[in-house]
Amino acid sequence: MHRVDLTFVLAIISLLVTVVTVFLNTALFRFEKRKKSDRSSTIKYIPLLLVGFTLSAVLMINEYYQTQTAKEQALLLTLKKRKFDLDTSSFTSKEKLLLLDSLSIYKDKLSEIINRLEKQKRITGKGNGTIAQAQVVLNKTDEQIADVESYNEIIAVPQNYTNEYMAVRSSEIEFECPPKSSSNYVDVNLNLHNKKLVSSIRFIYVSVTEKTKEQNHENLIFQQAYLAKLGLNKIRMKNYFNNSNIGIQIGYFIKNDSVKKAPTFHFVSCGNL
C-alpha cells in the first residue's frame, strides 16, 4: 500500500476511534454516575484523548489531500509539455480523426484533474492557482479541437476531372487572397452561400502552378481536393503566396460534369499567372 493511502486509512481509523471513544465515554459516565464509583475521576482524561485523536485525524487527512494536490500538479505539468501536430494541410480523413481523438482524450484528462483539484480544495483550501492553469490549458484545447474540425476534409483528386478541364471564373465564390506572411502555412477561406450549388459540387479543387524561366510554360507543383461545405470552407496549405512566379486557382467541379470529356472548373485565383 502506498504511503499516501496508508495516511488516509490511519486518519479514518483515528476518526472511528474517536467516535467509538465518545460512545464508550458516554456509556461509562452514565455507569459511573449510577454506581458513584471513585473511578469516575479517570473519566476526566478521556476528553483530552478525544481531542488528540481528532487533531491527529484532521492533520493526516489534510496531509493526504495536500499530497494528492501535489500529484495533480505534477500530472498537469506533464500534460502541458505534450505537443500535438496541428498542421492539417496534408492530413487524410483518418489522420484528422486520430488527431481529434487524441485531443479529446487529452481534454478529458484535464477535466478529470480539475474535478479532483476542486474536491481537494474543499479540504485543504488550496489549489486555485493549479485549477486556473489547468482551465487555461483546457480552454486552449477546446480551441484547437474547434480549429481542426473547421478545416475541410481532404479527399483524393479525381483524375477523370483534372486530367483535362475548362477553367471559368466564378462569381459564386466569396474569396480574398491571404495577405503576405512569413508563416510556412496559411489558411485559405472561401465562402459558398448557395445551398443548391453546394449540394451539386463534387469537390473543391486547389491548384498551384509555377512559371518556368522561359515564362511560356506552367508547371503544376501542388494540387488537392476537398469536400465542400455550405458557408465557410477553410483550407490549410503551404504558403505559396509570397512567390511572384506562382499562380493559385481555387474553385470547384460540379458532379454532373463527371461524364464530360473536359469538365468545367469554376474558380477564383491569386498570384501573377
pLDDT value at 216 more than 50:
yes
Q: What is the C-alpha R_g of the chain?
A: 34
* CATH class belonging to 154-271: mainly beta
Q: What is the distance between the alpha carbons of residues 82 and 264, in angstroms, rounded to a whole number?
A: 46
What are the pLDDT digits (tens) for 171-202? 889 888 888 888 888 888 999 999 999 999 99
Percent helix / strand / coil, the chain, rounded to 5? 55, 25, 25
77: left (phi over 0), alpha (psi -120 to 50) or beta: alpha
pLDDT value at 168 more than 80:
yes
Q: Is the dihedral of CA 193, 196, 201, 207 positive or negative?
A: negative
Q: Which of 14-18, 77-81, 128-132, 144-148 has the lowest mean pLDDT?
A: 14-18
Q: Residue 249 CB: number of other CB atoms within 10 A?
A: 19
Q: pTM of the prediction? A: 0.66
State residue 59's pLDDT score.
66
* CB contact at 8 A, 263 and 163: no
State residue 268's pLDDT score.
92
State residue 120's pLDDT score.
81
| Averaged pLDDT, 83-89 | 81
Q: What is the distance between the alpha carbons of residues 53 and 55, in angstroms, rounded to a whole number?
A: 6
Q: Which of 46-55, 175-184, 238-247 has the lowest mean pLDDT?
A: 46-55
State residue 141's pLDDT score.
93
Between 87 and 185, the higher pLDDT residue: 185
Q: Residue 124 CB: number of other CB atoms within 10 A?
A: 16
Domain boundaries of the chain, sorted by first residue: 1-81, 82-150, 154-271
What average pLDDT is seen over the chain? 80
Q: Residue 193 CB: number of other CB atoms within 10 A?
A: 12
Short-list 8, 7, 9, 17, CA closest to 52: 17
| Averaged pLDDT, 113-134 | 85
Count Cβ neighbours within 10 Å for each residue of 59-77 and write b for 16 or more, e otherwise.
Answer: ebbbebbbebbeebbebbe
Paired sense of beta strands 264-271 and 166-169, if any: parallel
The three cell numbers locating residue 229: 461545405
State residue 54's pLDDT score.
67
Strand partners, 209: 220, 247
State residue 4's pLDDT score.
43
State residue 11's pLDDT score.
53
- Helices H / strands E in the chain, number of each: 6, 9
State residue 179's pLDDT score.
82
DSSP E strands: which ranges in 121-245?
Answer: 154-155, 166-169, 174-175, 185-192, 201-211, 218-226, 231-238
In terms of average pLDDT, the best of 91-100, 156-165, 223-232 is 223-232
State residue 214's pLDDT score.
67
Which pLDDT band holds residue 110 (cuts at 50, 70, 90)?
A: very high
State residue 12's pLDDT score.
58
